[in-house]
Amino acid sequence: MFITKFTITNKILKNIGIIEASREVILNSPLIPAWEAKFRKEAIERTIHHGTHLEGNKLSEEEVIDVLEGREVIARERDIQEVINYRNVLKFIDEISSKIGAGTPYFLTIETLLEIHRITTERILAPEQSGQFRSKQVVIKNTKTGTISYTPPPAAEVPYLVEDLINWINSDECKDVHPVVKAGIIHYELARIHPFVDGNGRAARAVATLILFLDGYDIRKFFSFEEYFDSNPMDYYLTLQAVSNQLVLDIHERDLTPWIEYFVEGVAIELNRIKERVRKISLDSHVKDKLGEQVELNERQMAIMEYLHRHSKMMNKDFRKIFPDFSDDTVLRELRFLRKKGLLKKVGGTKRAIYILK
């Protein structure tokens, strides 16, 4: 029977409060459809880049975007495949969570976990290892020193440990746990059990994301907590290992509090950042009130508006920073459109013009 031990500390409560406040703003901020699509696209790109980079993938964020958009990238084949696979994992969990939107009840199953792993490791692991629990003992080593930092449970115990965890996830007891805390527990447990020979981190984070989605915490699918983990990978791995290596007589006595504090803080930081960005570019309400219409902006127009929100002003010399592949005439045409709609104004002559939000 799965039992978890943790304490709801003041730090956890504070960050849950930030999460709830940020979630409320994000869910209720009016955004034109083009902005919403842009936010979701960027969240997917960030999730894939940081989720794979955290595991040693060498592709830059720009190269990841190139792979996702079908452009040729000269890089290690495995790195490219990991990006493609993780995109397919996100599609898979999105399809599952969409069933909830249609009113279809759903419970997490072992088959879903195995399928997530199969997609994660397709064409990376041998077919007999992809989507299958490990059949041998593995250890986690420090790549620089060769020192063993963690030894997961024996392979023979893996199916039973996973089954206990899945049963807990689907239990009435688990329903009372806050979705973010629950996602953190599940992430930790899958990392601790280490059910696969490879791809455990990506699978654990994907399942944690799925759990948030299933509990109604998709938050418009604007977020990527992988970016927080990847900002300081040492903290991420050391926090996981510190909990797993606690000297206790029974695994149920392990105190998950330090990990949950870390996990919840990461979600709070990410959602607060998204909240501030959404708040700044939530144009729909005041544009409709002001103009009596909803303005559909294209990608270039959105990029201009976002730049102005971040930097307050824009000059001709900034054109190349934002649009290296477009002519000045094209940029000026987009600026004229935004001026005509009353969203920004021009100060000064043509060559020394400064564009600011109106």
Q: Residues 59, 80: contact at Cβ < 8 Å?
A: yes
Short-list 132, 215, 131, CA closest to 169: 215
- For 355, phi and psi rounded to 5 degrees? -105, 130
By CB atoms closer than 10 A (0-12, 13-18, 19+), residue 304 is buried
First to last CA, the chain: 61
Half-sphere exposure of 304 (CA within 13 A, CB side): 27
Distances (CA, A) of 335 to 257, 330, 339: 51, 9, 6
Distances (CA, A) of 247 to 90, 239, 253, 255: 36, 15, 9, 10
Who's near 242: CB < 8 A, 6+ residues apart? 258
DSSP three-state, residue 292? coil
Per-residue DSSP letters for 50-91?
Answer: HHHHTTT----HHHHHHHHTT----S-HHHHHHHHHHHHHHH
Q: Could you tell me if residue 199 is left (phi over 0), alpha (psi between -120 and 50 degrees) or otherwise beta?
A: left
Residue at 354: amino acid letter: I
Among the listed residues 53, 117, 187, 194, the single catalytic one is: 194
Catalytic: 252?
no
Catalytic residues: 194
